[in-house]
A and B are shown apart, each in its own frame.
Chain A
Amino acid sequence: MAEARQPIERPLSPHLSIYRPLINMVMSIVHRMTGAALYFGTLLLAAWLIALATGERQFEFVNALFGHPIGKLILFGYTWALLHHMLGGMRHLIWDTGRGLQIWQVNVLSWLTIIGSVSLTLALWALGLTLRGDL
Chain B
Amino acid sequence: MAYRTPLARARGLGSAKEGTDHFWRQRVTAVANIVLVCFALWLVVKLAGGDHATVKRTLARPQNAIALLLLVISGVMHMRLGMQTIIEDYVHSEGRKVAALMLNSFFAMLVGLTCAFAVLKLSFGA
Contact = CB atoms under 8 A, between A and B. Distances in A.
Interface of A: 32, 35-36, 38-39, 42-43, 45-46, 49-50, 52-53, 56, 59-60, 79, 82, 86, 89-90, 92-93, 96, 124, 127-129, 131-134
Nearest to B59: A52
A127 B55 CA distance: 18
Interface of B: 27, 30-31, 33-34, 37, 41, 44-46, 48-49, 52-53, 55-56, 59, 75-76, 79, 82-83, 86, 107, 111, 114-115, 117-119, 121-122, 125
16 contacts: A32-B86, A36-B83, A42-B79, A42-B115, A46-B115, A49-B114, A52-B52, A52-B56, A52-B122, A60-B52, A82-B37, A89-B34, A93-B27, A128-B48, A131-B48, A134-B49
Which 5 pairs of residues, A with B, have the shortest CB-CB distance? A49-B118, A132-B49, A53-B118, A53-B121, A56-B52
A35 B104 CA distance: 14
Contact of A52 (B37, B45, B55, B86): B55
Interface of B is mostly: helix
B30 A42 contact: no
A46 B37 contact: no
Contact of B111 (A46, A90, A129): A46
B46 A131 contact: yes
A51 to B, nearest CB: 8
A96 to B, nearest CB: 7
A96 B83 contact: no
Contacts of B46: 131
User: Which one of B37, B46, B118 has the greatest number of beta carbons of chain A within 10 Å?
Assistant: B118
Contacts of A86: 33-34, 37
B118 A46 contact: yes
Given A42-B76, A52-B56, A124-B41, A89 B30 contact: yes
**Which of A46, A60, A79, A128 has the most C-beta atoms of chain B within 10 angstroms of its own C-beta?**
A46
A132 B86 CA distance: 38
A131 B55 CA distance: 15
B72 to A, nearest CB: 8
A53 B68 CA distance: 14
B48 A42 contact: no
A49 to B, nearest CB: 4
Contact of B31 (A43, A50, A60, A93): A93
Given A32-B86, A82-B37, A49 B48 contact: no
